[in-house]
Structure 1
């Protein structure tokens, strides 16, 4: 099964600078993985360099809800 990992720290950074093109690209890649039967994972990096996975999506409906929440703040 394919997996696509999204770093939410980067997503928040792109939100702050309103980099919609990069957000669109990331979400399109994630959507392709989901359509192909894969999984999308959300991770957050810690200051010490470690990261932890706090959410994962295996269906388009849940992922679309997350995407809408990200764009809501633009």
Structure 2
């Protein structure tokens, strides 16, 4: 998938391990306005399933895309409410 949306903010959590990528993503998402898109950059391979699970179980956010780019995992989350 290619990112075809406007990124509002980028959160760099490279070097952080579980559960910090999700904790920091939630905190950053809480600060977004409705419709804003957060790009999360992580080096924790577990963040792929962790952020997907968090977004699926959390109201107010939508996981738009995830990509593995070498050793960096990119996540795109939209604030929906």
Fold agreement, TM-score > 0.5: no
Higher strand content, 1 or 2: 2
Which has the greater radius of gyration?
1
Question: TM-score, with normalisation over the residues of structure 1?
Answer: 0.33
Higher helix content, 1 or 2: 1
